[in-house]
């Protein structure tokens, strides 16, 4: 057991899907996995392990924002032998060609957070997705004919910014969308020689002010979960 995860050694699979919302972790476990066992309920941050097409996989809530995600990812990597982490989350689009429900594959994650500024003593680190997971996700998307965008995203510490135009400098440099977790996921995975990828569905657009209700998010969430599970399966079979 670690401080924030109540699992025993061996109860968590080498591959973990990471939704921000713990209830989404439960939803994935109940609707996609077989022989499911819940291994965590500390702080309500639910975690489950089960089988997907015969392959062991876990799904763990990460909470919102990088400080929360970093606690869970650190413990998964340091204490439970996790090797592959796939975030399944939502984001706000900041490019005109990206609409709600679209799927984004985050090749890299810039950040406005101070977390990496401290880690790298003021220098800049290019937090990057794992090539192995990225190419498997790409293969799954292409084989299924699912449209997607791939590129740089922004991991921010703030959902509500006092400056309504703060995102524009990132948009001007080609950043596709804003979320709040991937930068630390990629950084920590690299630090522990593990693999990480963030798959995101667009829940709102800062350009058009379109916004999906929680109910409307379900459809694109389903597609994203299937892509994440197939990516995990493909990667596990080729390890």
What is the x/- site pattern for ligand HPA, positions 175-204, by CB under 6 A? ---xxx----------------------xx
Catalytic residue among 124, 162, 204, 215: 204
The residue within the footprint of ligand HPA, chosen from 92, 134, 136, 201 (CB under 6 A), is 92
Stretch that binds ligand HPA, among 2-10, 89-97, 99-107, 110-118 (CB under 6 A): 89-97
Binding of ligand HPA at residue 21 (CB under 6 A)? no
**Token code pair at residue 147:** 């449209």
The residue within the footprint of ligand HPA, chosen from 130, 152, 156, 201 (CB under 6 A), is 156
Question: Nearer to ligand HPA by C-beta: 34 or 158?
Answer: 158
Cβ 106 to ligand HPA shortest distance, Å: 12
Task: Give yes or no: 161 in active site.
Answer: no
Cβ 201 to ligand HPA shortest distance, Å: 9
Question: Nearer to ligand HPA by C-beta: 93 or 232?
Answer: 93
Contact residues for ligand HPA, defined by CB under 6 A = 90-92, 156, 159, 178-180, 203-204
């Amino acid at each position: 057991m670690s401080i924030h995860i109540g699992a025993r050694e061996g109860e968590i699979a080498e591959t973990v899907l990471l939704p921000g919302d713990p209830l989404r972790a439960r939803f994935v476990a109940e609707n996609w996995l077989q022989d499911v066992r819940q291994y965590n309920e500390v702080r309500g941050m639910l975690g489950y392990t089960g089988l997907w097409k015969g392959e062991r996989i876990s799904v763990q809530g990460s909470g919102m924002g990088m400080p929360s995600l970093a606690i869970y990812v650190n413990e998964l990597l340091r204490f439970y032998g996790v090797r592959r982490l796939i975030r399944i989350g939502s984001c706000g689009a900041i490019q005109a060609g990206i609409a709600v429900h679209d799927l984004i594959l985050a090749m890299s994650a810039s950040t406005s957070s101070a977390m990496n500024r401290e880690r790298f003593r003021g220098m800049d680190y290019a937090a990057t997705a794992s090539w192995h997971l990225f190419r498997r996700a790409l293969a799954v998307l292409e084989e299924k004919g699912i449209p997607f965008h791939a590129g740089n995203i922004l991991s921010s510490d703030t959902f509500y910014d006092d400056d309504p135009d703060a995102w524009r400098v990132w948009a001007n440099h080609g950043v596709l969308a804003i979320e709040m977790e991937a930068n630390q996921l990629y950084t920590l995975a690299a630090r522990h020689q593990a693999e990480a990828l963030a798959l995101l569905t667009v829940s709102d657009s800062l350009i058009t002010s379109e916004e999906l209700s929680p109910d409307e998010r379900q459809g694109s969430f389903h597609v994203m979960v299937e892509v994440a599970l197939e990516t995990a399966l493909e990667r596990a079979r080729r390890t």
